[in-house]
Amino acid sequence: MLGVVVGVMALMVALGLMTGLQSEIRSKILGATAHISIFRSGNEPFDNYRDVVAKARQVPRVLGAAPTVYGKGLMMTAGGSAVATMKGVVPSQERTVTDLAAQVEEGQLDALDHVAEGSLPPVLLGRDLASTLGVGVGDVVSVTSPNGRLSPYGWCRA
């Protein structure tokens, strides 16, 4: 009798843990990225992304859509360097797609709206990325991106 009780209890606990873990991981992953990403083939940027976002919103049962630009860059500070995946977002639209606003620990997501002429553009860093770089709010990071530079002959690619 006791064996059956312990056995069933262990099974229930294990199942509960697995289910909880699964839904926890799923919600975290889906909270950090969109459920569906739309890319243009050939890695080309969209000619008119606003149309694409508007069309995506018209699809039945789509609750939100937001434009994004992804890129990789090498981040450097006095304290260290790290390769970062940078995501360009529009805060008001990003809210309809991910939980980013709730995940901001220090500062505000809306800080990305304030791009003032003459001052450096804002960046929100992942917590562990910030600690790798040894920076906090108000510090400056340099980003080196490996894209071409414009010249009178077009884009330089060496």
Which residues in 4-63 contact other proteins (CB under 8 A)? 28-29, 31-32, 44-45, 47
**Among residues 17, 18, 69, 78, which is the contact residue for other proteins, using CB under 8 A?**
69
Residues in region 95-124 near other proteins by CB under 8 A: 99-100, 103-109, 111-113, 115, 117, 119-124
Task: Quote the CA–CA distance of 95 and 118 in Å, as a whole number.
Answer: 28
User: 16: which 2 tokens?
Assistant: 């509960």
The set of residues, in sequence order, having a beta carbon less than 8 Å from that of 111 and lying 6+ positions away, is 122, 124
Query: Nearer to other proteins by C-beta: 16 or 71?
Result: 71
The only residue of 34, 38, 52, 86 in contact with other proteins, by rule CB under 8 A: 86
Shortest Cβ distance from residue 7 to other proteins (Å)?
33
User: For the chain, what's the residue count?
Assistant: 158
Rounded to the nearest 10°, the torsion over CA 79, 105, 112, 81 is 20
